């Protein structure tokens, strides 16, 4: 037994961290969490800790540190020992890798004090210290040996501890993984939900805050329902921009879910070459290993780690054009991926106003951006942190995660140099100081695991319908430029092409070669190009819900995911509809739904409802007292025959007006001074209507903007909360156009909008659809001229035994949701209602709800033999009408 003493001091355990931040993103790549001095160029306060030494001796101190930019050593720091600054400087080694460096030898006893003293504020980092009495001891550099030594010195058991046996194990708690867990748990599966972060939500968590971007941002009537809508409604109700609290609430409500935080999957146990029996996860803080066993597994890690360890087939980078005949793919395959960006709240605003001009000198290690003309970006505000602050796509984010994040740090400082010293609007930034920068990288692409079908560009653009469709997408083919911010005049996109509403088959959601592995999130089975449309959070969420339902059916039928596709796909689709997942072209045919055979009646019916899939909230008329412009993305096809805009006239006489049509490469770029067309139209007096302007032009770029000159007595309708990439501007004089903040637009259509009277009868609640499908397949809408309460009723042909009722209310699924909540807006919905059954003698109230804000409500009660079922609406939010899409009745 050694006579020497060796102590391991982990940086994460410092008693006072001062201004140093704990970073645990890369434990799987470098071995343990570390402290980073994220001071944006201003040295941060010291981190302190005390260590009790077992005896007086000559002690040798080692420090694990990293020089993250070797040529410049920006992250230097020193060690203070008992208040004395040691001679060595750390963060300056001649290697970019994590390394141990000896600080020196010291005669010490009792309790010592150690401090990390930052010298630069430029992201110096320290992972651990070792203090030993052994003069010949050298800490291990190689990663596996480092981990072994860490376990030995911190008394971490080398063998994994059993953490439980589950029906379904979900690794990754982004919206896709969380939705899979919630849906499976609701259907009776015992679920382990495992996160490698301290909280739920993945890229949408409180750490990062990516919003629930959606197909509805570009497609009418396409907002995702089910668990996705529950998450959104909880967020809006509680006025929270982030989604972690909503996911916490939904998972806490499910007794079948056990959540495990801070656990990174690091190994897979195989029952056979094609089947997983369990996983091992390492706690990112303690290093302890846990073993989970299960029957089915979901890789929701985003980067495909579970599938990778299981030996699942996967792809990384871009496919060759010839493989899927994708016009947007490169000629030859490569390993280029879409990158991430630094996002999240770093503890305050990124920039602060100093109240006086403050010069800025770019650090030598940050790149230099070109002139504004060559930069190829539109900047609206010096205080923004644009999504296009990306590095080039040739970093391997899987194995170079920390290096890729560090490249984004360099880019952030180069961008601030551009704002302060190059940008034409730099006067706006002269008083601003760069104060904070998030160190969290929200990545867009990693491994893509291979399923029985690989969704491709042609599948998406042609909107191919699959018999096993379980979800849909509608975001553009949003593929970022492989050069990132260095793409210059080519702009931030490789593609941002509009696509029609398109369909996601179940075969993209399970592994082609691991028989009990589901694929949830951006690691689903798609090409690099098709990833552009499916990768947004709301789309991935509904894919996750489909996986959760499929896992429950696998357990029910003792089959595999492929077995569900081959033998039970219709049952899966019907199960998803039952749980409010919208599947285009699929309607309710559930034989267990007793409501389908009932007759529906209502207290009143609206005859004033107009079928109109105009998105957004109709706002006021804006007088044409100044030049007004609006930007919008063109349709799938480049040809524009006509444009229709909504104009009103207070004039007594008709008046001719010219519509100036221009092109743009960016949705905020109002710089063009050249009309590609200038059609005219005559506006009739005393009217408001859609006015046609004949354009007859091909538009080669993604965006079009139009403007109107001032004309007295004319107004242009404006819509709030409009579709994404729409905007408005005023001005047009020598100072240019002034882009108005907020997601709004003046409506412009490429086809004449049709407004048809909608059928609002009570039979719509059993028409098989959970949202508006057509003027005939609509919703029950009560007469707006009749006061509340209003009711809708099901009369059964003969009495039926029921104990469960599913209600689906209208929460305006045609309104496009955006990442910013409508803080002062209460989304419309039935608020107060009563549900009652008539047993042939009396009405029995089974539910009485106040302050409802959810679209889907499920009520369970003791079985009743009912002749009638009545929903009575006492009050609504933001609507004079009661609106109900669907009522289902079951004996479950």
pLDDT digits (tens, 9 = 90+) for 229-277: 999 999 888 775 579 999 999 999 999 999 999 999 999 999 999 999 9
**pLDDT tens digits, one per residue of 514-569:** 999 999 999 999 999 999 999 999 999 999 999 999 999 999 999 999 999 999 99
Distance CA(645)–CA(68), nearest Å, equals 54
Per-residue pLDDT band for 723 (boundaries 50, 70, 90) equals low
Per-residue confidence band for 822, with pLDDT thresholds at 50, 70 and 90:
very low
pLDDT band of residue 736 (cuts 50, 70, 90) is: confident
Residues whose CB falls within 8 Å of the CB of residue 891, separated by 6 or more in sequence, listed in order: 592, 594, 800, 801, 802, 803, 804, 863
What pLDDT sits at residue 545?
98
* 545 in Cβ contact with 227 (< 8 Å): yes
Q: Across-strand partners of 710?
A: none
Residue 588, SS3 per DSSP: coil
DSSP letter assigned to residue 626? S
pLDDT tens readout for residues 757-805: 999 999 999 999 999 999 999 999 999 999 999 999 999 999 999 999 9
3-class state of residue 245 by DSSP: helix
Q: How confident is the model at residue 820 (pLDDT cuts 50, 70, 90)?
A: very low
Whole-number pLDDT of residue 818: 47
Under 8 Å between Cβ of 455 and 505: yes
CA 166 → CA 190, 263, 296, distances in Å? 5, 16, 8
Identify the band that residue 823 occupies on the pLDDT scale cut at 50, 70 and 90: very low
Instruction: For 661, list phi and psi in degrees, rounded to 5.
Output: -110, 125
User: What local confidence, expressed as pLDDT, does residue 824 receive?
Assistant: 45
Distance CA 437, CA 412 (A): 8
Tell whether the torsion through CA atoms of 771, 773, 774 and 776 is positive or negative: negative
Over residues 580-592, mean pLDDT:
97
**Residue bearing the bigger pLDDT, 496 or 310:** 310
Percent of the chain, pLDDT > 70?
96
SS3 content of the chain, % helix, strand, coil (to 5): 20, 35, 45
Section 186-200 average pLDDT: 97
Give a three-class secondary structure readout of 694-731: EEEEECCCCEEEEEECCCCCEEEEEEECCCCCCEEEEE
DSSP-derived secondary structure for 832-885:
EEEEEEE-SS-EEEEEEE-S---SEEEEEEEEEEEEEEEEEEEEEES-SS-EEE
Kindly state the tokens that stand for 105.
Answer: 């030898």
Q: What is the pLDDT of residue 384?
A: 84
| Residue 355 predicted with pLDDT over 80 | yes
Q: How many CB atoms lie within 10 A of CB 845?
A: 12
SS3 letters across 466-533: CCCEEEEECCCEEEECCCHHHHHHHCCEEEEECCCCEEEEHHHHEECCCCCEEECCCCCCECHHHHHH
Provide the pLDDT confidence category of residue 632 given band limits of 50, 70 and 90: confident
Q: Tell me the C-alpha distance between 263 and 280, whole Å.
A: 9
Cβ contact 240:246 at 8 Å: yes
pLDDT digits (tens, 9 = 90+) for 637-667: 788 999 999 899 999 999 999 999 999 877 7
Length of the chain counted residue by residue? 892
Averaged pLDDT, 611-620:
62
For the chain, the C-alpha Rg in angstroms (whole number) is 30
In angstroms, the Cα distances linking 17 to 48, 53, 194, 218, 409 are 6, 21, 28, 45, 22
Confidence of residue 12 (pLDDT cuts 50, 70, 90): very high
Task: Return the DSSP state at 759.
Answer: P
Question: Per the structure block, which two tokens stand in for 231?
Answer: 């998450």
Nearest to 8 by CA among 186, 127, 176, 88: 127
Tokens 């401090």 locate to: 115
DSSP 771: S
């Amino acid at each position: 037994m050694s006579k020497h003493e060796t102590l391991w001091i982990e940086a994460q355990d410092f008693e006072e961290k001062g201004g140093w931040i704990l970073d645990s993103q890369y434990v799987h790549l470098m071995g343990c969490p570390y402290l980073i001095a994220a001071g944006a160029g201003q040295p941060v306060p010291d981190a302190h800790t005390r260590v009790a030494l077992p005896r007086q001796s000559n002690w040798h101190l080692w420090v694990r540190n990293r020089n993250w930019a070797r040529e410049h050593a920006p992250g230097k720091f020193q060690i203070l020992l008992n208040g004395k600054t040691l001679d060595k400087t750390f963060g300056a080694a001649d290697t970019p890798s994590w390394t141990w460096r000896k600080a020196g030898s010291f005669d010490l006893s009792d309790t010592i004090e150690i401090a990390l003293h930052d010298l630069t504020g430029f992201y110096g980092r320290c992972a651990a210290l070792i203090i030993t009495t052994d003069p010949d001891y050298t800490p291990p550099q190689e990663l596996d040996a480092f981990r072994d030594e860490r376990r030995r010195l911190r008394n971490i058991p080398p063998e994994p501890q059993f953490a439980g046996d589950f029906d379904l194990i979900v690794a990754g708690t982004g919206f896709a993984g969380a939705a899979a867990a919630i849906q499976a748990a609701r259907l009776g599966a015992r679920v382990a939900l495992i996160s490698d972060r301290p909280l739920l939500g993945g890229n949408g968590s409180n750490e990062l805050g990516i919003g629930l971007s959606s197909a509805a941002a570009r497609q009418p009537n396409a907002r995702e329902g089910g668990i996705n809508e529950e998450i959104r409604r909880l967020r809006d109700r509680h006025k929270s921009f982030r989604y972690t609290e909503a996911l916490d609430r939904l998972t806490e409500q499910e007794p079948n879910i056990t959540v495990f935080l801070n656990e990174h999957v690091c190994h897979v146990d195989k029952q056979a070459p094609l089947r997983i029996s369990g996983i091992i996860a390492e706690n990112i803080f303690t290093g302890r290993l846990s073993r989970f066993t299960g029957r089915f597994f979901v890789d929701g890690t985003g980067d495909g780690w579970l599938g990778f360890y299981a030996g699942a087939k996967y792809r990384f980078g871009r496919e060759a054009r010839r493989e899927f005949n994708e016009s947007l793919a490169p000629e030859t395959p490569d390993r280029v991926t879409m990158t991430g960006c630094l996002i999240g709240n770093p503890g305050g605003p990124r920039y602060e106003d100093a109240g006086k001009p403050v010069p800025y000198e770019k650090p030598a290690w940050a790149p230099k951006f070109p002139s504004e003309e060559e930069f190829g970006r539109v900047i609206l505000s010096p205080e923004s942190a644009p999504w296009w602050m990306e590095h080039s796509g040739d970093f391997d984010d899987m194995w170079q995660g920390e290096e890729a994040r560090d490249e984004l740090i360099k880019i952030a400082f180069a961008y601030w140099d551009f704002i302060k010293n190059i940008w034409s609007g730099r006067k706006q930034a002269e008083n601003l100081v760069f104060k904070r920068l998030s160190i969290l990288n929200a990545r867009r692409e990693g491994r893509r695991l291979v399923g029985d079908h690989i969704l491709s560009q042609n599948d998406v653009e042609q909107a191919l319908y699959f018999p096993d469709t379980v979800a849909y997408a509608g975001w553009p083919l949003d593929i970022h430029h492989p050069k990132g911010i260095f793409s210059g005049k080519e702009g931030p996109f490789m593609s941002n092409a509009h696509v029609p509403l398109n369909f996601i088959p179940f075969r993209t959601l399970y592994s082609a070669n691991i028989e009990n592995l589901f694929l949830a999130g951006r690691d689903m089975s798609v090409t690099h190009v098709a990833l552009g449309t499916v990768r947004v959070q709301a789309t991935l969420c509904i894919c996750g819900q489909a996986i959760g339902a499929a896992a429950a059916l696998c357990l029910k039928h003792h089959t595999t995911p492929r077995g569900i596709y081959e033998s039970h796909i219709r049952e899966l689709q019907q199960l998803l509809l039952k749980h409010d997942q919208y599947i285009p072209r699929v309607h309710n045919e559930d034989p267990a739904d007793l409501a389908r055979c009932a007759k529906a009646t209502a207290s009143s019916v609206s005859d004033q409802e107009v079928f109109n899939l105009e998105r957004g909230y109709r706002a006021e008329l804006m007088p044409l007292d100044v030049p007004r412009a609006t930007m919008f993305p063109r349709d799938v096809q480049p040809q524009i025959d006509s444009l229709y805009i909504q104009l009103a006239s207070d004039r007594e006489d008709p008046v001719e007006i010219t519509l100036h049509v221009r092109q743009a490469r960016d949705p905020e770029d109002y710089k063009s001074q050249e009309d590609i067309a200038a059609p005219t139209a005559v506006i009739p007096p005393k009217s408001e209507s859609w006015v046609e302007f004949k354009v007859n032009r091909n538009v080669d770029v993604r965006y079009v903007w139009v403007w109107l000159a001032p004309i007295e007595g004319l107004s242009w309708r404006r819509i709030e909360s409009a579709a994404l990439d729409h905007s408005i501007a005023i001005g047009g004089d020598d100072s240019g156009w002034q882009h108005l903040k907020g997601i709004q637009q003046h409506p412009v259509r490429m086809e004449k909008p049709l407004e048809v009277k909608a059928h609002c009868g009570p039979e719509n609640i059993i028409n098989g659809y959970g949202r508006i499908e057509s003027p005939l397949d609509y919703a029950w809408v009560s007469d707006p001229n009749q006061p509340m309460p209003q009711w809708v009723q099901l009369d059964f042909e003969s009495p039926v035994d029921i104990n469960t009722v599913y209600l689906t209310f209208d929460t305006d699924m045609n309104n496009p949701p955006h990442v910013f909540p409508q803080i002062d807006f209460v989304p419309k919905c039935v608020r107060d209602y009563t549900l009652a059954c008539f047993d042939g003698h009396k009405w029995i109230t089974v539910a009485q709800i106040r302050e409802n804000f959810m679209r889907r409500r499920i009520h369970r009660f003791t079985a009743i033999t009912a002749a009638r079922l009545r929903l009575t609406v006492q009050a609504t939010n933001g609507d004079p009408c009661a609106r109900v899409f669907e009522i289902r009745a079951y004996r479950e």
